[in-house]
Structure 1
Amino acid sequence: LDMVDGKVDMAGIEGRLTPDTKMVLIQRSRGYSMRNPLSIDDIEAICAEVHRIKPDCVCFVDNCYGEFVDTREPVQVGADIMAGSLIKNPGGGIALTGGYICGKDELVELASYRMTSPGMGDELGASLANNRMIFQGLFMAPHVVAQAIKGAVFAAGLFSKLGYKTLPLPTDVRGDIIQAVQLDTPENLIAFCGGIQKYSPVDSFAAPEPWDMPGYEDQIIMAAGTFVQGASIELSADGPMRAPYNVYMQGGVTFEHAVIGIMGAAQAIEDIDR
């Protein structure tokens, strides 16, 4: 369902539901778009409207990047089931892999049967000896997410002062940890990612380059010098090589590191013409 003026088209929901519709997918974060992420209030309104029209329809929320940003989670406001990644917010920068599914008992049970086999469900599956890291990461996650949000607000403030369009703005209420900046040129996008990479704890010597990533229409550039491969709760940035050359920055397990990386990204752009 397309958004209207950056908002959910609530009036259009009824026209999209049919008697055969079993599930509605609600994506909390924005992907590679310049829309606001869905707030908890948005998700509550969507779930209420879907259940009003079709009470037996399952509302499923892709909660990636949104955990612990608000004081409530989607399953507390009407979502039937939600899922996310442990190398994002709820892993706290400690969990090495994995994901979570939570919500109504019967739906979680069905999901567990799909993952393994009927009758076995969540009694079977690899924990990879990572249980301590998963639980410790979950314990640390609210604090780590707060650090990431502080870094995102700092990035919005700095790049707004440098004349770039940012979303969200520094004073906006946030629905996820992602900060988007419209950088206007491919050189700026490459420089931004290079600056983040330069001040990363791992592979700081590497220079990110755009490449043809499977599943994407455009070349993608990514900066992620992270301890856990692909862990976007650690400071990272990426974006598609297409106008207007938006970069999407997220993470930072400490505010101090986020500040250093963000200033490094700004300096890399400033150095282009020197």
Structure 2
Amino acid sequence: MPDTMTLGSIRAPSGAVVLGCGGHLDEWADFGEPLSSRARRAAGTGGAHLKDGLAEAIAVPVGTGPLTVTATTRPGAYALAEAIAVLEVALGLPWSAVSEQPDSVLLGELPVDTGGMIIGDPIALDSWVGTVSPSATVDGLADVLVRGDGSEQAQAEFGSQPIPAFRAGGPHGWLDLPVDAAYEQAATVNRWAVVQGHYKYLAKVELHTHHHLGQRAGWPHALGAGTIEVAGCPVLAVHWDPAELQRFDGGQSHPVSLENVAGSAVLRWTLPLASATSAAS
């Protein structure tokens, strides 16, 4: 039976909230107008789908209080773990404040982004440091993750620490190192790996971008969801298990709607039980 799980609580003091594709979240300003300007304009009309290049999001109006994000789950397509079937954001507004229609309003569709999905205030998200800025770090720190064939031997050799992960067999390594120290540690492990006949990039440096910190915050969560602070606002990041990504066809998008739930406005993203490819197989 489907279960409902809380993913986190966020705030959106600008009066708008964005459900956006994480992989290109820091590209909006490159196209001539920041995400916050587009999102607040869309929220002023009751909500809309935004797309520019590969950057894509839905923006809607919200109330001033905390916004709870929940997910209805289903069994994973390729793993025993639960997966997201429906993602919802309680908008903290009466239905009459967002729509004159009595029933649901389709706002558009969003793909399942391999870079995860981000939910937060658009003004805060103007400061997002993600995959487009891979050399940037928000706090001068980085993590070193060690995984793959030879990782157990490396752990015994270098004393790296297990790192909680929402997937079984997660990595080990070192967290919160100064960037220079992180690169030095990774280089030491990788030189040893080559001598031992293991993969030459056994250790990988992950700079503290918002993208990585959002992913890291979700490691312990069953659905890969974690909250981080961006420009003073709590922002929710949801990252997918790689096995779960296999069930979505590239480029396939799924409906996002405004729903009237007992007189309150709710943003709802509905994912299919299975993709056409996996259903056919």
Q: TM-score, normalised by structure 1?
A: 0.22
Greater relative CO, 1 or 2 (CA 8 Å, sep 6+): 2
